[in-house]
């Protein structure tokens, strides 16, 4: 077995030397096996990230992070109430001020969908009618959220990690949320013996 000690003539050593020089890593001596002695990793995770990547975007987030100050550092009961409002209400102050017409058109639509659910519980309309109206409300909610609350939660539900939502993120979020809300309402209607046609 031939052991190379020349970092210029041996292709694997030259490649490793160039990589370490480019990344600003230390060049360690060549070990008994003919390769560089491994660099001892630093114990802190910040030291393992290159300076270029440290100031760059977070690779774990598909889009830019969004900070919601109103949900940070609040007691748990208030936070749960704010989370429920975040999920159920598509309106926001910025969306209402910038897209006033869309927000004002959504108010009668919200009243109509509440009335449709009430009529479904009373047995006046069919389940297919509520599905169509719920789909229309979901489409309107996507537009409202893209106008004012253009963010989605990323990661576990108990963390306050939000990111900017693109159109597919918002479609997925609203569709899944409204599917769960609609299924829960139908189960509640069945549990309280309301007539669902």
- Give the end-to-end CA distance of the chain in Å, rounded to a whole number: 82
For residue 1, pLDDT over 60 is answered with no
pLDDT at 41: 61
CB-count burial class (<10 Å; 0-12, 13-18, 19+) for 28: middle
For residue 197, pLDDT over 60 is answered with no
For residue 34, pLDDT over 50 is answered with yes
For residue 42, pLDDT over 70 is answered with no
For 134-148, what is each residue's pLDDT tens digit? 999 999 999 999 998
- Phi, psi dihedral angles at 36 (to 5 degrees): -60, 145
For 44-87, what is each residue's pLDDT tens digit? 666 666 777 777 777 778 888 888 888 888 898 998 998 899 88
**169 against 68, higher pLDDT:** 169
For 115-139, what is each residue's pLDDT tens digit? 999 998 888 888 899 999 999 999 9
- Give the closest residue to 103 by CA, choosing from 162, 146, 166: 146
CB 149 within 8 A of CB 53: no
- Taking phi over 0 as left and psi of -120 to 50 as alpha, with beta for the rest, 48 belongs to alpha
**155 against 197, higher pLDDT:** 155
Listed in sequence order, the residues at least 6 apart from 183 whose beta carbon sits closer than 8 Å to its beta carbon are none
User: What does the alpha-carbon distance between residue 155 and residue 19 come to, in Å, rounded to a whole number?
Assistant: 34
- Tell me the mean pLDDT in the region 164-190: 94
Of the given ranges (34-38, 87-91, 174-178, 181-185), which has the lowest mean pLDDT? 34-38
pTM of the model: 0.68
Listed in sequence order, the residues at least 6 apart from 72 whose beta carbon sits closer than 8 Å to its beta carbon are 160
- Give the closest residue to 34 by CA, choosing from 64, 70, 58, 10: 10
Alpha helices per DSSP H over the chain = 11-23, 51-54, 76-88, 93-98, 100-122, 127-147, 167-191
Tokens of 19: 């990589």
User: What does the alpha-carbon distance between residue 94 and residue 148 come to, in Å, rounded to a whole number?
Assistant: 6
Element (H or E) spanning 27, and its range? none
Q: How far does Cα 173 stand from its chain's mean position? A: 9
- Tell me the mean pLDDT in the region 35-39: 72
- DSSP-based three-state secondary structure for 121: helix
């Amino acid at each position: 077995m031939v052991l190379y000690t020349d970092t210029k003539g041996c292709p694997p050593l030259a490649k490793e030397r160039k990589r370490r020089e480019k990344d600003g890593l230390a060049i360690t001596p060549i070990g008994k096996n003919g390769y560089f002695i491994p660099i001892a990793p630093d114990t802190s995770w910040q030291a393992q990230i290159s300076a270029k990547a440290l100031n760059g975007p977070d690779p774990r987030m598909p889009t830019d992070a969004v900070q919601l100050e109103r949900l940070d550092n609040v007691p748990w009961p208030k936070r749960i109430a704010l989370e429920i409002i975040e999920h159920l209400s598509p309106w926001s102050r910025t969306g209402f001020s910038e897209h006033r017409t869309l927000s004002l058109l959504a108010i009668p639509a919200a009243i109509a969908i509440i009335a449709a659910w009430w009529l479904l519980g009373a047995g006046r309309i069919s389940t297919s009618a509520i599905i169509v109206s719920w789909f229309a409300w979901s489409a309107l909610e996507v537009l409202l959220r893209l106008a004012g609350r253009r963010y989605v939660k990323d990661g576990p539900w108990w963390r306050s990690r939000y990111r900017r939502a693109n159109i597919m993120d918002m479609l997925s979020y609203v569709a899944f949320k409204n599917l769960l809300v609609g299924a829960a309402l139908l189960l509640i209607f069945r549990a309280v013996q309301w007539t669902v046609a």
